[in-house]
Amino acid sequence: MNTPVPIDEMSRLEALNRYDVLTAETDPLFDNVVKLAASVCHTPIAKLGFLDRNQLWIKAAVGLDIRRIPRRASHSAYAICKQRQILVIPDARLDTRFAQNPLLAYEPPVRFLAAVPLIEPTGYAIGTLTVMDFQPRELSQSECDQLHALAETAIALLESRQMVRRLAGEVAERAGYERRAAAEYRHLLHTNAALSLESMTDPLTQMGNRRAFDHNLLHEVERARRLGYPLSMLKIDIDHFKAFNDTYGNPFGEQLLCRVAQVITNALRTTDTSSRCGIDEFAVILPGTDLRGARNLAERCRIAVEQDVVPRGVAHISIGVAQLASDDHKGEQLVSEAEQSFLRARQVGRSTELDMQRRGGNIRMTI
């Protein structure tokens, strides 16, 4: 006798495959379903299986150690065609459809079975919940109703597991998206930081540029006023720089600028910031430093520059020193006073440290 095949078999198999249940791990909740089925129907055997193209996959069972049955020999092939009706076989030995069923080879052989289709939400029967006995018998209406309810419970468990898998996939996808977004954000921050640093860096000396100076000055003025500590500034210029360029050429002038910038930077503290604010002009912001401390730091810069070897001649450096006034809210007065101090230092010419102190912070330096 040919095994029946539903007319919508391809769609039924697609519905089954959506659950990915055939190769999945055994679910303990399915074990509970078959235990309840055996209990409410008073049978020694119960099983829950899913029918694919070729065989019945038994995913939970009580009183049975078989895990696969060929479709041609399985009662489930007939049960799925009954849709929402229960297939009841009072005595399997009298039904030629199940002559090849391996359960008949049991000792004692299975005589009675009742199978209810497992109907998924779109209406396809993807498997069966079956109870079996070694004695011929029938099911009461109450037992049929409870078997139907347990079949619906099995489908609900499948749906719940499917939802958990879907949510887990969405969580994993979201986590992956968030990781990618975080990586892109870090890359963007790095790129922006690099661009910001580049836009605030003098390409020749690698000091800060005028934009960096303006930014740092506003920041340090605000912090000095908020915390109540002093703030000073140095204005530094290389005298007769144009003459160096005219005499020795622009390459030498660039080397001189770079060397002076490096010497000044090396003489500073880690909290100080230096910037190139003009062709041969430098500015240094000194947080937490009063006028006296600024003079000492300027002297240190002077000594460091004097001890450095500059090829092809002698260069002179003029330095102006100023301290932030109590009524200076933006640092404009600080810059102006440093500029005035610088101009006085340039007019003085070569000065000793004593002369520098006598003139209130104007330093004339020689390289």
Give the residue-averaged pLDDT of 89-107: 79
Angle at 289 between CA 285 and CA 293, to 5 degrees: 110
CB atoms within 10 A of CB 9: 13
Q: What is the pLDDT of residues 147-160, one digit of tens each?
A: 999 999 999 998 88
Q: 210-366 belongs to which CATH class? A: alpha beta
**pLDDT for the residue 304:** 80
- Predicted confidence (pLDDT) at residue 250 exceeds the cutoff of 60: yes
* Interval 150-206: pLDDT, tens: 999 999 998 888 888 888 888 888 888 788 878 877 877 776 666 565 678 888 988
Q: Would the pLDDT of 293 be above 70?
A: yes
Q: Mean per-residue pLDDT for 302-317?
A: 67
Cα–Cα dist 260/265, whole Å: 9
Instruction: Give me the pLDDT at residue 367, please.
Output: 34
pLDDT value for 196? 62
Instruction: Give me the residue spans of the domains in the chain.
Output: 9-167, 210-366
C-alpha 248, offset from chain centre: 55
Range of lowest pLDDT (20-29, 130-139, 344-353) = 344-353
pLDDT at 276: 92
Q: Are the C-beta atoms of 39 and 49 separated by less than 8 Å?
A: no
Q: How many CA atoms lie within 13 A of 298 on its CB side?
A: 37
Q: What is the mean pLDDT of residues 91-117?
A: 83
- Give me the phi and psi of 228, to 5 degrees please: 75, 30
Angle at 245 between CA 239 and CA 249, to 5 degrees: 155
pLDDT at 187 (0 to 100) = 73
Asked if the model's pLDDT at residue 354 lies above 60, the reply is: no
Strands 231-238 and 281-287 come out as: antiparallel
**Could you tell me the pTM of the whole model?**
0.50
Return d(Cα 153, Cα 30) in angstroms, integer. Answer: 9
Domain at 9-167, CATH from 3.30.70.260, 1.10.1840.10, 3.30.450.40, 2.40.50.140: 3.30.450.40
Mean pLDDT of the chain: 84
pLDDT at 195: 57
pLDDT digits (tens, 9 = 90+) for 44-96: 999 999 999 999 999 999 998 888 988 888 888 889 887 778 999 999 888 87
Q: What's the maximum distance between 2 C-alpha atoms anywhere in the chain?
A: 127
